[in-house]
C-alpha cells in the first residue's frame, strides 16, 4: 500500500510539473504573440515578464511552425539564442544595450552578416557566399542592442532577372506567400521581410528597395515601412542592384518602430560615399491643426482601391484636414525608359564588382558567368521564368559614360522636379496616394499582375517614401503612401504620424 501511494505521489508530482510547464508554454506563446512593438517588448523586459532568450526562442518556434506555409524566412541565425543570452546578462546587471535592446531583427537575404550564414540574393550561384562580414546597417543594429534573428526570402536578384517573374520567388527560398492569403502574391522584392512582420516572426525586419521593393510588399501584407532618402542609410555590405536608387529600410508593426530603427541604421559610412550625417529630430505630438493634404489620382489602381482611397480621404476630412486633388503636370515620357537604362548600366558594373570580390568558394565571378550558371542549372534556377534582364544588362556598353551620366541627370532632375512641383504648385503640406492595389493571385505561368504603384518618383528622386497600413479591400491590405518633398524627410515623418493617428484612433480603418 505504501509502495502504491509513493508511486501515485510520484505520478501526481510529474503530472503537476508537466501541467505547470504546459501552462508556462501557453502563457509564453500568448504573451509572445501579444508583444509586437518595441515599447511592449521593452516594458516586458523591465517588468521581468519575459527574457530576451525566451522571446527569441518563441520567435524561432513560431517561424518553425508557420514558415513552411509561407516561405518568408530562408535561414535562422545559429547564434540568435546566444545573442539573446548576452542581452539577458546585461539586463541582470542593470545595463541597457541601446535603443534596440533585445529586439530580434530579420534581414533580407541580400544583406551580409558575420558568421556561418550565406548572403544569397536568392540565387544558388551565391549559396556558398559566406562573407563573414556585417553590412554597415547590421553593425548599427548590433551596436544598438538588436538580436540578428535570421535571413528572409526575396525575389531573386531583387526582382531584376526576368521581365516576367513572380515576386517573392527565389531558387534558394522558393515562392513566398502573402501573409493574408497564401494563394496571393507578397509583392517584391523584400517579400519575406514584409510577410515575416505581418506574421509576427519578429518585431522588426530590414528590406531593400530600388523601386517599390520595400513599399509594395509592406502595402500588400499590411505593415509599416519606410524607404529612406538617398544617402541616409548605407548600402555597403548589401548585394547591389543600382547605386543610383538602392535603399535599405525598416518594416515594423508601428510607424514609431520603423522610424526608431531608421534612426539606428542611418549615418555616414566611408564605404558608401553617398551617405551623409543625418539626425532625425524628436516628433511632436500628433495632435496638430489641420494639414493641407494633396491627394494624387487613383485611376491607375483597381476600382475597389479607388473606393477605399475615397473613404480614406473622407476620413481625413472628417478629422479636420483639408484634402485637395492634385496631379503631376510634368512630362514624364522619358522617365521610365531612362530609369531602365540606368538600372541596367548600374547592375552590370556593380554586380561584376561584387561577384569578383566574393570568397573563393563562390565560383560565379561575373555577370556573364552568372548567366551561364543559370543556363547550366535551368531546372533549379529557371523553372518558371528566364533571365532576359540579366542578358540585357550584360549587353550594356560600360564605356558609354557620357550617355549614362546625361541619362542619369535627366531622369533624376525630372523626377525631383515632378515631386517639388506637386508641393510648390499646390501649396500642400504632404502628398499622398495609394501605395499599390491589393495582392494579386500568384501566377507562375504569366507572372506578376501589378495594378498601380506610387514608388517610382520617390525611388528615382531619392526622397523618403512611407507606407501606412490603414485600409483593406476584401480583407486584403492596401497601404497609403506618404511621398516626401525633396530634402524634407523630417516633415514626412511628422505628417505620416498625423495621418496614421486618424486611422489608428477609434475611427475604423476604411474598407
Scanning the structure block, which residue is given the C-alpha cell 499582375? 449
4 close to 12: Cβ distance less than 8 angstroms: no
**Dist. CA 46–CA 33, nearest whole Å:** 18
120 close to 83: Cβ distance less than 8 angstroms: no
Copy the grid coordinates of residue 239. Answer: 548585394
Catalytic member of 165, 191, 213, 247: 213
134 close to 142: Cβ distance less than 8 angstroms: yes
**Dist. CA 208–CA 214, nearest whole Å:** 6
Copy the grid coordinates of residue 496. Answer: 505620416
Copy the grid coordinates of residue 435. Answer: 501605395
Catalytic member of 189, 190, 244, 263: 189
Classify strands 169-170 and 476-477 as parallel, antiparallel or unpaired: unpaired
**Dist. CA 199–CA 99, nearest whole Å:** 23
- Bridge partners of 48? none
Determine phi and psi for 76, rounding to 5 degrees: -95, 135
**Dist. CA 449–CA 167, nearest whole Å:** 10
**Dist. CA 404–CA 423, nearest whole Å:** 29
Distances in whole angstroms, Cα of residue 81 to Cα of each of 39, 86, 99, 112 = 21, 9, 19, 19
Q: Please confirm, yes or no, whether 189 is among the known catalytic residues.
A: yes
Q: Please confirm, yes or no, whether 108 is among the known catalytic residues.
A: yes
Burial of 8 (0-12, 13-18, 19+ CB in 10 A): exposed
Determine phi and psi for 147, rounding to 5 degrees: -110, 120
The helices-and-strands tally (H runs, E runs) of the chain is 16, 15
Element (H, E) at 174: strand 174-175
Scanning the structure block, which residue is given the C-alpha cell 544569397? 120
Catalytic member of 91, 108, 453, 481: 108
Query: What is the C-alpha R_g of the chain?
Result: 24
**Dist. CA 341–CA 324, nearest whole Å:** 35
Distances in whole angstroms, Cα of residue 282 to Cα of each of 249, 263, 268, 494 = 19, 10, 20, 9
Q: Please confirm, yes or no, whether 213 is among the known catalytic residues.
A: yes
Q: Which residues are catalytic?
A: 108, 189, 213
Amino acid at each position: 500500500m505504501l509502495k502504491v501511494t509513493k508511486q501515485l505521489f510520484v505520478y501526481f508530482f510529474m503530472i503537476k510539473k508537466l501541467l505547470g510547464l504546459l501552462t508556462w508554454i501557453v502563457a509564453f506563446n500568448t504573451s509572445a504573440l501579444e508583444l509586437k512593438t518595441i515599447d511592449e517588448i521593452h516594458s516586458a523586459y523591465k517588468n521581468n515578464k519575459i527574457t530576451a532568450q525566451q522571446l527569441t526562442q518563441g520567435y524561432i518556434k513560431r517561424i518553425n511552425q508557420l514558415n513552411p506555409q509561407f516561405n518568408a524566412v530562408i535561414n535562422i541565425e545559429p547564434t540568435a539564442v546566444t545573442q539573446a543570452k548576452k542581452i539577458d546578462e546585461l539586463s541582470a546587471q542593470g545595463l541597457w544595450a541601446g535603443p534596440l535592446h533585445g529586439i530580434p531583427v530579420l534581414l533580407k537575404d541580400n544583406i551580409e552578416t558575420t558568421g556561418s550564414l550565406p548572403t544569397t540574393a536568392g540565387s544558388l550561384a551565391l549559396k556558398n557566399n559566406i562573407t563573414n562580414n556585417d553590412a554597415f546597417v547590421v553593425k548599427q543594429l548590433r551596436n544598438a542592442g538588436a538580436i540578428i534573428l535570421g535571413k528572409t526570402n526575396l525575389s531573386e536578384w531583387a526582382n531584376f532577372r526576368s521581365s516576367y517573374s513572380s515576386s517573392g520567388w527565389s531558387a534558394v527560398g522558393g515562392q513566398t506567400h502573402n501573409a493574408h492569403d497564401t494563394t496571393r502574391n507578397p509583392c517584391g522584392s523584400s517579400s519575406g521581410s514584409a510577410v515575416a512582420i505581418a506574421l509576427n516572426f519578429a518585431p522588426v525586419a530590414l528590406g531593400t528597395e530600388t523601386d517599390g521593393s520595400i513599399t509594395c510588399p509592406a502595402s500588400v501584407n499590411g505593415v509599416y515601412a519606410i524607404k529612406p532618402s538617398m544617402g541616409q542609410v548605407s548600402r555597403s555590405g548589401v548585394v547591389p542592384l543600382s547605386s543610383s536608387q538602392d535603399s535599405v529600410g525598416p518594416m515594423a508593426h508601428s510607424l514609431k518602430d520603423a522610424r526608431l530603427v531608421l534612426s539606428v541604421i542611418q549615418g555616414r559610412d566611408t564605404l558608401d560615399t553617398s551617405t551623409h550625417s543625418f539626425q532625425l529630430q524628436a516628433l511632436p505630438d500628433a495632435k496638430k491643426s489641420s494639414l493641407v493634404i494633396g491627394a494624387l489620382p487613383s485611376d491607375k489602381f483597381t476600382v475597389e482601391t479607388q473606393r477605399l482611397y475615397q473613404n480614406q480621404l473622407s476620413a481625413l476630412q472628417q478629422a479636420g484636414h483639408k484634402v485637395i486633388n492634385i496631379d503631376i503636370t510634368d512630362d514624364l515620357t522619358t522617365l521610365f525608359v531612362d530609369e531602365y537604362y540606368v538600372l541596367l548600366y548600374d547592375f552590370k558594373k556593380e554586380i561584376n564588382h561584387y561577384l569578383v570580390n566574393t570568397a573563393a568558394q563562390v565560383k560565379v565571378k561575373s555577370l556573364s558567368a552568372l548567366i551561364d550558371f543559370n543556363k547550366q542549372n535551368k531546372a533549379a534556377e529557371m523553372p518558371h521564368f528566364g533571365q532576359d534582364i540579366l542578358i540585357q544588362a550584360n549587353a550594356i556598353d560600360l564605356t558609354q559614360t557620357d550617355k549614362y551620366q546625361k541619362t542619369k541627370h535627366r531622369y533624376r532632375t525630372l523626377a525631383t522636379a515632378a515631386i517639388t512641383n506637386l508641393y510648390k504648385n499646390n501649396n500642400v503640406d504632404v502628398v499622398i496616394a495609394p501605395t499599390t492595389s491589393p495582392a494579386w493571385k500568384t501566377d507562375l505561368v504569366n507572372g506578376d499582375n501589378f495594378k498601380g504603384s506610387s514608388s517610382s518618383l520617390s525611388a528615382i528622386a531619392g526622397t523618403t517614401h512611407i507606407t501606412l497600413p490603414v485600409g483593406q479591400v476584401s480583407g486584403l491590405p492596401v497601404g497609403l503612401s506618404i511621398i516626401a518633398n525633396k530634402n524634407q524627410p523630417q516633415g514626412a515623418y511628422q505628417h505620416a504620424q498625423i495621418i496614421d493617428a486618424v486611422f489608428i484612433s477609434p475611427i475604423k480603418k476604411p474598407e
